[in-house]
Every structure is written in structure tokens, then in C-alpha cells.
Amino acid sequence: MMRWKSSLLAAAFAMSGTSAAMFAQSPPGTGLTAKAAAPIDLTGYWVSVVTEDWRYRMLTAPKGDYYSIPLTPEARKVADTWDAARDVAQGKQCMAYGAPAIMRQPSRVQVAWDSENALKVEIDAGKQIRIFAFGAPRQSAGEPTMQGSSIAQWQSPQITRFYTSKISAQDPDTPGFRGQTPAGSAPPDTRKLGGTLKVVTTHLKPGYLRNNGVPYSANAVLTEYYDIHQDAGQEYMVITSIVEDPQYLYVPWVVSNQFRREPDGSKWKLHDCELILSSK
């Protein structure tokens, strides 16, 4: 069973793949762990910068408000039955804190290496923890969970070129190329060369894409791309998030979430899941 689940996750990863070469624990031939090979440094504290979908993220929208999300008729029926008081009574305040929605919650996030080949992402809002395992998912068997099973890979254009074309890998004019890899040598050292973290999450418990009961199913697959950039002396992390769920979504739901790096964890504050309503 476990092997079957792992295969399913690997297949999901492959199907959602891109043209970029990806590597799990390390680029072949380097002997590096995922931590040592990291082309970008995501570790540290980050805070959500809520400049989009503000009223859906900072507050709980009324029932039936599901704009911007390409829902199927079945999903609309489910969303129309949402009842905030019932969720609270049944202890379901965390339904919008599962992996497909948690990074949209206004929050502070702590990213750290849990091992040489796994990143731990801890979110203060709702006290949630995600594990991004390079190579094989940590939890691919047993009951589905809110955060599901995540498999991670680094993506780097230098590695793409090294493994796809020896000729283009030598071309110093290739955009983004900084590897300076002579022919026949070891793969380029990708550390801090720039790149992306790709994470695919499956094996999810059903939950909400939005606080007001917009559903995703147990078959949902979440693909995320983590990128970092600098602006005005600040470092930002942007997560492009793609939720595929044929049961409830006509087409994949794609959003991107901004986080700004914080100097320390002084503002990081664990708190329970909550439904924040706008009225008294």
C-alpha cells in the first residue's frame, strides 16, 4: 500500500512537471544533500503581505461569495451549504488551514531544515506544520491529513542545461547561465545560483480553499513553486500555487502569495485556527 501511494505521488509529480531539470536529494554526481545543494535560501521567518484578495484573506466572506475561483456546479452546491456556526460547533475551524489554502492565510512562517533532505515549514496561523521531503514523502500511507504528503525538488536552469545539452551548457550567453562548467566536468554547483523549490502535495483530507466553505476534495493535488527576490532592500518569497481538483474545479486554481523576510522570530506567534467575521 505504501509503495502504491508513493508511486501515485511520484506520478502526480511527474505529470505536473516542467521543462526544467529537477533533482531530488541532490543533482546526480554531486553527492550533495538537498540542504547542501539548495540554490536559494528559504530558511528563516517570513510574513504574509496581503495585497491581493484582501477581504477574503483578512476576513471571512459571506456564504456564496466564491468569485475568482473556477468552481464546478457540484462545488457551488457544497459551498452554498456552508454554515460558520456549525463549523465552530463541530470544531472545524481549521478547514481552511489545509495545504491548498494555508499559505493564503495571513500568517508568519518559519522555514527550517528538519533534516539534510527535508524542509519544515511551520505556520503560526492555525499552528500548522508542513514537511517538504526531498526524494520520498514522509507520510504517503495511512489516513490523509490536512497538510498531506509533500515531495520537494530544486529546479535550476544551470542543472537543466547540464543534463539536457552539453552544448548549451557551455554557452555563456545563455540567459541565466552562470555555471561556467567546462565540458566533461562535474555538474555545476547550484548553491546560491538562483532557482526554484517545487513542491507537490497529495494525500489530503478535504478542506476549504477559502474561509467561507469553498471546498476542495480528497483528490486535490497542490503544486507550488517557491521563488525569492529582492526589492528596496527587502527579500521576498513568492509562492505560485496551483490546485488541481477535477471534482470541484473546472480548471486549476492558480494564485501567487507574497511573503517578506523578517529579521527574527519576534513577531511569530502561534495561534489557533479561527473564523474571523467582520461584524460584532
Considering only residues 21 to 60 of the shown chain, the ones binding other proteins according to CB under 8 A are 39, 47-55, 58-59
CB of 235 to other proteins, least distance (A): 11
CB of 53 to other proteins, least distance (A): 5
> Any contact of residue 107 with other proteins (CB under 8 A)?
yes
Q: Write the Ramachandran bin of 192: left for phi over 0, alpha for psi from -120 to 50, otherwise beta.
A: left
CA distance 246 to 263: 41
Query: For the window 60-99, what string marks contact with other proteins as x by the rule CB under 8 A?
Result: -xxxxxxxxxxx----x-----------------------
Reduce the DSSP state of residue 122 to 3 states and report it: strand
Q: Binding other proteins by CB under 8 A: which of 77, 86, 138, 178?
A: 178
CA distance 49 to 52: 9
Residue closer to other proteins by CB (options 10, 193) is 193
Residue closer to other proteins by CB (options 140, 243) is 243
CA distance 32 to 70: 41
Which residue type is seen at 152?
Answer: A
Alpha-carbon Rg for the chain in angstroms: 20
Residue closer to other proteins by CB (options 3, 280) is 280
Q: Which of these segments, 27-35, 129-137, 141-149, 190-198, binds other proteins (CB under 8 A)?
A: 190-198
> Any contact of residue 198 with other proteins (CB under 8 A)?
yes
Query: For the window 222-261, what string marks contact with other proteins as x by the rule CB under 8 A?
Result: ---x-x-x-xx-x-x-x-x-x-------x--xxxxxx-x-
43's enclosing H/E stretch is: none
Is the distance from CB of 202 to CB of 8 less than 8 angstroms?
A: yes
Residue 205: how many other CB atoms lie within 10 Å: 18
